[in-house]
Amino acid sequence: MLKNNFERFKDYFREKYGLGLDNPIVIIFLGHMLIFLLAIPYFDKFGIDSLLKMILVVFGNLAIFSIPFFINFEKTLKLGKLNLKLISGILLGFSMFFGVFVLSASVINAILFSGLVFLILHVFMKYYYSEKISKIMFLIGVISFIAIILIHGSVPITDYTVRMAISNDPLRLISSGALTFASLFNFGYFMVSFAILAVTGYKANVLVLIVAYLLYNYKRNKINAKKIFLIGIFTIPFLGIMAKSILSSSGQSWSLNFLEIMSYRAYFDLMTLEKIILYPTALCGKIAFTPGGESLIGEIIHGYTHNITSTMFGPIYLDLGYYSLIFSLIFGIISKLIYKKSDTKIYSIYGAVLLSMCEIGINYGFLVTMLTFLYVSENLQKKP
C-alpha cells in the first residue's frame, strides 16, 4: 500500500513538474546528498553550526535554482518575444572572447578563436542528424586520445606529470567530449570510450560519460531508476580506484583505501565550503567568472595555488555572497530552457555535466559550456 502511494506520488510530480531522475533539480540534489553522505565519517570535525550553514548555502541556492521549474517563467518574463537564438549567441560569443582575451591579451586571438568555435558548432549542428555523425565523433575522440599519447609519450593515468600537463589540453577536451557524444549511440562505443577516458585519468570525464549514457537511456525508457542506482553503487568504488591509481602515480603515499579516499574527498569539499562561508569578503567574480579563477580557491582558502573543489555553489558564494541566490535563479532559468528544448542526447550530456559540477564547483569553463548547450538547444531543431 505504502509502495503504491509512493509510486503515485512520484508519477504525479514527474508528470506535472518533470521531476524524474533526469531533471536538473533532482540531479543537483542527489549529487550534493551523495557528498554529504560520503562525508559522514568526518562530521565530527565540523560543528553543528558549520554543518547547518553548509546545508543552508547548498540547498538554499538549489531552492532558488528550482523556482523556474515550478512556475511558468517563460510567460511571466515574456521570453517568447525574445530572440533567444541571438541572445544566447551573443552571450556565448562574449564569454569566449573575454576568456581568450584574458588568457592571451590579444583581441585578434579572441576574435579568431570565438569565430572558429561558432564555425565548428554550426558544422556539428548541420550534420547532427546524419547517420555518420556517431562514427565521425568516435574517430575524433580516439584519434585525439592517440595524439595525446604520442605527444607526451605515456598513458596519463600512469604518469602524474603527463596527467597534469593535459589538464587544459584542447586534445583532452575534444577527446572526452567526442567520445561521450559517440557513446550514446551504441554500447560498443560506450565501452571503448569508458576504457579510453579511464586511462586518461580524469574521474570527472568518466563520471560524465557514465551518467550521460544512463540519462539518455532513462529518458528513452530503456533503463529504470533502480538499475541506475545499482550502477551508481558500482561507479563510486571504481572512481575511488581511479583516485588511488592517480595518487600512486604522483609519488604520494596514502594509507587510505579507495573507498576511504572517496569519503575523505567529500569531507575535503565540505571543509573547503566551510572556509568559503567564513571568508570575510566577496571576491566579485574573480573565481567563477574568470578563466582559471578556480585555482584561486586553493590560494585564498588553503594557502597554495591549486584547483580546489568546493561543491557546486561554493565558488559562486565566494564570489557573490548572498547575491549568489540571484545567480542561482538565472542558472535555473537557463537550465530549464536547456532541459525543455534540447535534443535527448544533448541534454543527457548537460545533465551529466551538472552532476560532475556538484563536486567541482561552478567555474568559468562551466559557464561557457552551459551557454554552448543553450545556444545549441536554441538552434538545433529538437527531434525524438
The pLDDT confidence band at residue 163, using thresholds 50, 70 and 90, is confident
Task: Report yes or no: 202 and 151 within 8 Å, Cβ to Cβ.
Answer: no
Q: 8 or 26, which is more confident? A: 26
What pLDDT score does 18 carry? 58
pLDDT of the residue at 171 = 85
**Which pLDDT value is given to residue 14?**
55
Domain ranges of the chain: 21-379
- Residue 382 confidence (pLDDT) above 70: no
Q: Do 208 and 349 touch, CB atoms closer than 8 A?
A: yes
* Per-residue pLDDT, 195: 95
Mean pLDDT, to the nearest integer, of 120-137?
91
Q: In this structure, what C-alpha cell is assigned to residue 119?
A: 564555425
List the one residue out of 92, 90, 102 whose CA is nearest residue 291: 102
Of the candidate ranges 128-142, 195-209, 276-290, 370-384, the one whose mean pLDDT is the lowest? 370-384
278-282, 326-330, 350-354: segment of lowest average pLDDT: 278-282
Please state, as a whole number, how many other Cβ atoms lie within 10 Å of the Cβ of residue 172. 23
Choice among 67-71, 81-85, 128-132, 352-356 with the minimum mean pLDDT: 81-85
The yes-or-no verdict on residue 231 having pLDDT over 70 is: yes
Packing angle, helices 187-200 and 133-152, rounded to 10? 20
Within 13 Å and on the Cβ side, how many CA atoms surround 148?
30
Note the pLDDT tens digit of each residue in 283-341: 988 999 998 888 888 888 887 777 788 999 999 999 999 999 999 999 999 999 999 98
Q: What is the pLDDT of residue 245?
A: 84
CA atoms within 13 A on the CB side of 384: 2
CB 280 within 8 A of CB 317: no
The answer on pLDDT for 7 being more than 90 is no
CA atoms within 13 A on the CB side of 58: 27
pLDDT for residue 114 is more than 80: yes
pLDDT confidence of 256, banded at 50, 70, 90? confident
Mean pLDDT, rounded, of the chain? 88
pLDDT score at 11: 52
pLDDT on residue 278: 92
